[in-house]
């Protein structure tokens, strides 16, 4: 639960409210399945999709390798930051509260 809340909160605060809506999908999956690692898998898939999009556009557009090249990918900045918040959420573990240890019977 903490990882899902951190994912939504950090994404809304650090990236944008619209990306926080996108982050709801993996956050719901984390809560329902109780597996924070789902956020890490989502980060991996999103990073691969971003890389594929950059590769596809570069092959089609044949953009010159100069100082303006990173400016071509401004629209991918938000999803790239979402990858970071997904990785942060994946590292947060929801641990059950500790139970008091029972005393051994003498």
For 15-62, the pLDDT digits (tens) are 999 999 999 999 999 999 988 889 999 999 999 999 999 999 999 999
102 or 72, which is more confident? 72
**16 lies in some domain:** yes
**70 lies in some domain:** no
Tell me the residue range of the domain where 83 lies.
Answer: 2-62+75-91
pLDDT higher than 90, residue 81: yes
Total domains in the chain come to 1
HSE value, Cβ hemisphere, 13 Å, CA-based, for 81: 18
**18 lies in some domain:** yes
pLDDT higher than 70, residue 97: no
The Cα 26–Cα 7 span in angstroms is 9
- Which SS3 state, helix, strand or coil, does residue 97 take? coil
Tokens of 10: 């950090």
**106 lies in some domain:** no
Can you give the pLDDT at residue 102?
61
């Amino acid at each position: 639960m903490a990882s899902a809340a951190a994912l939504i909160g950090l994404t809304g605060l650090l990236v944008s409210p619209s990306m926080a809506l996108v982050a709801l999908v993996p956050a719901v999956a984390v809560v329902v399945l109780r597996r924070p690692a789902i956020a890490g898998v989502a980060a991996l898939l999103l990073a691969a999709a971003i890389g594929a999009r950059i590769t596809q556009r570069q092959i089609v557009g044949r953009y010159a390798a100069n100082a303006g090249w990173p400016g071509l990918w401004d629209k991918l900045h938000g999803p790239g930051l979402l990858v970071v918040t997904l990785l942060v959420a994946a590292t947060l573990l929801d641990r059950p509260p500790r139970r008091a240890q029972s005393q051994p019977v003498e």
